[in-house]
Structure 1
């Protein structure tokens, strides 16, 4: 500290200046000095000489020690400044020391060396302290930059739980504008005061506070923080206690908003539950479907086998045939339901709006189901509320028919005594106006806890109930989908209580309601075509089409045999092929073929491609597509390929005769 000092001496008396230098050498200092007397030389030396310490006389010719000190403070405030004078008054010494002078020494110089050493030590300490403070400040700035660069919210607390710092992410996540809204406030009261449901969350129960008091690091992901706007957000946070000399002096916490994660977890749980429910329903459905398919198959195959008995009477044969036919119809209903729900699930079902007289549909359904209801010893009623002209609306006729048919069939199935009533009324006060339909029965009713579930796929009122009835559990699901496609809604009301443990069922009845828009606008008129009865169609075809030459393209032998038998009575010749390639070749070799019944799904070449190739050389032959797929859009695909028409399997005699009559009712072929 005593080596190579640069000492600036402000003294107008050369003798006194020399005296000061001798004293310094005597005290062991090694130094370089510069002596100045005027303000100008003093200011210049401060800039060029850059002294380590200034020794100044108080009384100078042009200015005094006070002025010299003030000049130094402006230029180099850190340089020690010691007054060395014998003329300074005590009050001046006090004033200079107040302003920041390092020390003063009277001109006996006895304590000059001590004053210089103390001044230099103080400066060294100040500079070291300043460097440490700057380093600390830089470190703090680095830490704050680091904290502000992370996506996690971060904040500190003292032992009282008051906030000591926050980072930018804290403010952004919790909706604060600046740190002054948070600093010094109790963080628990600010952001953790309540549970998610709004009930109080005492600080004494808070895991964060308990953990830092116990000097533990914790990780929590099942609590919420409250934003400034009063919204609770789920968070995951980690809390680190700050320990000094074995005592906790505070804590640091970091957290993230896990709203998206929680939503994803909830969606995953819902998906898992939905998948499990779907698996359960499908298992129940498959078990039920196995029963539903095997039961009619038992009737078909069993009574078909009995028909082989040689000693059957004609009455027995007719009875067995009716059972086979009834079982076949039941099997077809099951298949149709599966096809319908598949089309709905795949989004392949379209709505075709046309004019329809709902009174006629109500009357038709009444006429159709009346014998079946009366056969069970019950009564069937219907109710209309509009005149015939007002009952003509624009809707999808087939879907409305399917809805009413499904609901009435359900009512018949689940009702063994009493009556069934169905109908509609106009809800003119609705905006827009709508028709409200109902189907009411006095049957077994539906428990309240099942009244929503019955509209789900594969569900009956209780699919596992020992009293479960016939059916795949798809009818109401299809019905609900059709109602919604038409722009309405469906619901059920029933007085039946939830099934008790002993599962005894009491009749309570059920009423199904559904609505559709009352749309009376129309752009087209209803066209009623001349329709033959089945017997008339058969006679018409027999008389006018008995000379047809027909090609049957079918790879399934029973289907081919069935069509051949149906056509035999009014055709002069029937050709048979089993694939599309043979169909094209047969048509090429027999240009006089009048009609082709073209199966769509055949080996080697399908019916679509065979039709396209035939149309390249024969534009006139009538081609009717036949398929077991029967999905919506199949008919359009067949027409696009070049077919004249389309018929779905199973093919019944009346439907086939109607199609033949459509294309050959004016042609007589010898």
Structure 2
């Protein structure tokens, strides 16, 4: 149309080089120049807009586009009338109501809706917001569509929903944690207070006095463990714990740990075993001894808590430049759906207080320490047959 206009413009108004009436129409020429300048300004404005703008007829045939449409949807500006709106629509997009929307727009009812676009000769898809309004093109009814890419907005909305769900879940977990903490703290406290009071009886037999004192000691240890776990996870969340590496003998550490937990174990039917090779070698590594120890302690305590029959075994293997420590048990096992949950803070598979005790922090602490050491904890488990926790950590051999 622009080429046609340039061709016939002067002849129509009698201003061409061969016109005999050139001096009769100066006002008309001035107005046409002004209109052309306005049109050029309008086109410049349209091309400077970051949104894609398409003018199409009531059947979807594209009549005109701005520069942004050409860049995003791979449509040549000079050949835009070869395409329709459907050519830049994803095949996954439902278009059944599109013509009804266009009819409304022609009837002077603008619409705003979401759409999935697909550039010409491209496999990528773009989530867009479309605003359509009525217009005229060459004195014929047409539609101007403004296409705004809101992929980032959709991504942000999705992240916002996930953050909201995560916050709600965290709030629920903390509520359950406080509920369990009340129970777990009260249980040893009641034991300490009750049996301490009974120890004050003057005529108490010596054997009972020793028995009650032992109960007070055990409950004090349980209470101290609970407090230690709460303080530990608080420091980890606040990132107040740093890694301090040193050279130490891994075999000595595991042998000492095996001896301590064998003495601590209250179930003679569940022996704690140690891999035989560990007793006969001197394997020195460079790592954070304290954190590695705490991870293994938590894994052992977890195995002892949930194993009533069979055995518990600890040991390690070497895989390339990775040290793989493990704690194996023949306990109750863990369902596959719960294998991620058990490593979350304040989380327990059984959320009700039980005789097994615990706040659901032990494995969470182990998990956080493993990350600090640039390692990870994985699990193999079968319900009713037991579990094996693997603590994989990079190391330097010395």
TM-score range, shorter chain: 0.7 to 0.9
Spell out, residue by residue over 1:431-479, the C-alpha distance to the aligned partner (whole angstroms, 9 max, x if none). Answer: xx11211111111111111100100101123324x75720111110110
Structure-1 separation of matches of 2:271 and 2:293: 21
Query: SS at the partner of 1:182?
Result: helix
Q: Is residue 169 of structure 1 aligned with residue 68 of structure 2?
A: yes
DSSP-derived class of the 1:342 partner: helix
Residue 461 of structure 1 is aligned with which of 315, 339, 349?
A: 349
Larger Rg: 1
* CA 157–385 in structure 1, closer or farther in 2 if over 3 Å, else same: farther
Cα deviation for residue 280 of structure 1 reads 0.4
Are 2:375 and 1:476 aligned? no
Aligned residues of 1:153 and 1:254 also touching (Cα < 8 A): yes
2:6 paired residue number: none
1:236/1:257 contact within 8 Å kept: yes
Is contact 2:251-2:282 (8 Å) kept? no
Contact 1:234/1:257, CA 8 A, preserved across alignment = yes
The 5 Å alignment of 1:294-443 reads 294-373=186-265, 375-385=267-277, 391-427=283-319, 430=320, 433-443=321-331
Aligned residue-pair number: 380
User: CA contact under 8 A between 2:58 and 2:102: conserved in structure 1?
Assistant: no
Contact 1:307 1:317 in 2 (8 A): yes
- 1:142 Cα shift? 3.6
Could you tell me how far 1:285 is from its partner in structure 2? 0.3
Tell me what 1:145 maps to.
44
Extract unaligned runs of 5+ from structure 2: 1-13
**Cα deviation, residue 388, structure 1:** 5.6
Question: Aligned partners of 1:421, 1:348: CA distance in 2, in Å?
Answer: 32
SS of 1:290's partner is: helix
Task: Give the structure 1 partner of residue 54 of structure 2.
Answer: 155
Please give the secondary structure, in 1, of the residue aligned with 2:128.
strand
State the SS of the aligned residue for 1:422: strand
Higher helix fraction: Structure 1 or Structure 2?
Answer: 2
Q: 2-side partners of 1:373 and 1:318: how far apart?
A: 20
- Deviation digits for residues 552-589 of structure 1, max 9, x if unmatched? xxxxxxxxxxxxxxxxxxxxxxxxxxxxxxxxxxxxxx
Query: 1:243–1:181: structure 2 CA closer, same or farther, 3 Å change rule?
Result: closer
Flag the 1:188–1:133 CA change in 2: closer, same or farther, 3 A.
farther
Q: Under a length normalisation based on structure 2, what TM-score does the superposition of the two structures give?
A: 0.86
Aligned CA distance change for structure 1 residues 385 and 163 (closer, same or farther; 3 Å): farther
| Distance in 1 (alpha carbons) for counterparts of 2:275 and 2:266 | 18
Q: TM-score, normalised by structure 1?
A: 0.53
Structure 1 unaligned runs (5+)? Answer: 1-72, 82-119, 196-200, 497-506, 522-670
RMSD, matched Cα? 2.9
What residue number does 2:126 align with? 233
Q: Deviation at 1:279? A: 0.3
Q: Is the Cα–Cα contact under 8 Å of residues 394 and 520 in structure 1 kept in the other structure?
A: yes
CA–CA separation in structure 2 for the residues paired with 1:380 and 1:133: 98
Aligned pairs (5 A) from 1:69-108: 77-79=18-20
Is 2:132–2:145's contact at 8 Å kept on the other side of the alignment? yes
SS at match of 2:183: helix
How far does the alpha carbon of each residue in 1:1-36 deviate from its partner, in whole angstroms, 9 at most, with x for none? Answer: xxxxxxxxxxxxxxxxxxxxxxxxxxxxxxxxxxxx
- Check 1:375–1:184 CA distance in 2 against 1; reply closer, same or farther (3 A cut): closer
Matches within 5 A, 1:482-631: 482-496=369-383, 507-521=384-398
Q: Secondary structure of 2:312's partner?
A: strand
Q: In 2 relative to 1, CA 152–518 (structure 1 residues): closer, same or farther, beyond 3 Å?
A: closer
Deviation at 1:383, TM superposition (A): 0.9
Q: Say if 1:460 and 1:468, in contact at 8 Å, map to a contact too.
A: no
Cα distance between partner residues in 1 of 2:297 and 2:222: 15
Q: Is the 8 A contact 2:129 2:150 kept in 1?
A: yes
Contact kept, 8 Å, 1:235 with 1:255, in 2: the verdict is yes
Aligned partners of 1:76, 1:401: CA distance in 2, in Å? 97
Q: Any idea what SS the aligned residue of 1:435 has?
A: strand
